[in-house]
Amino acid sequence: MSRSLSISMVQLTRSGFKLCASRAPCCSAGALSLTTAAFTLHPHISSVLYRHSYSTHIKVRSYLQYVKRKIRPPPCPPYSHVCQIGDPVLRSHAAAVDPAAVTGPEIQLVINTMVKVMRKLECVGLSAPQIGVPLRILALEYPEKMLEESSSVSQETRGLSVQPLRIFINPQLRVLDGRTALFQEACESISGFSATVPRYLSVEVTGLNEKGAAVTWQASGWPARILQHEMDHLDGVLYIDRMDSKTFININWQAHNE
């Protein structure tokens, strides 16, 4: 979920809520970077670019991107960025993690990357599929600094509260209070947009933590909303699937009119 919206719309985040076999293989440590030297080694490339110098910047840039990818393959998951809507990984049903592998280097890398990306983007929650890894792992954190940026009215109305970093692996959700609340919600995987989404008031989650130990947590208010949002990601569900479509907005719509 996303923080920019939590401030402008009094909303969900510290900045909002992210191994595909189809992906290109990771580049080796010795992979070349794209430099002007590459063009001196391949004069035919320079001649092609010269012949198309009349082309738009977009076309030239597209060709440069093509050359770059031929030399240096794109990065592999877990990504240091958040996957955007349209990426198949966001619509896949994430696979369960082998409990015996939780403390292994591969899963720990995924968890550490999730936390790093979440904090870099000031998110309050993130799921493994959002960084390109289709595994059932989610993280959430609501820092004190973010709470301080919210008004007392917002804190009470939305049920905001400080939450330490929590990691859940193979989480299972149980609804404790079947009543729902409507609030504006955003997602880092649908960057720049927001909509009103109904969520249950209180839920319970059980699963494993980052050390492989069994944990159970009951959440209500905003933390419960974050949990439900992230749990949806593990099943290939996005908030736009649950939103009131008439409330769907570009959060920067006013700036476009200025």
Q: Active-site residue numbers?
A: 230
Name the DSSP letter for residue 2.
-
- 11 φ, ψ to 5°? -130, -160
d(CA 100, CA 170): 12
Which residue type sits at 27?
C
d(CA 9, CA 17): 15
Q: Who contacts 240 (Cβ-Cβ below 8 Å, separation ≥6)?
A: 85, 190, 195, 248
Q: Is the peptide bond before 223 cis (omega within 30 degrees of 0)?
A: no
Structure tokens at 178: 């079947």
Give bridge partners of residue 170 from the DSSP assignment.
none
Structure tokens at 28: 């080796």
Structure tokens at 225: 């909303």
Indicate the pairing of strand 214-220 with strand 163-186: unpaired
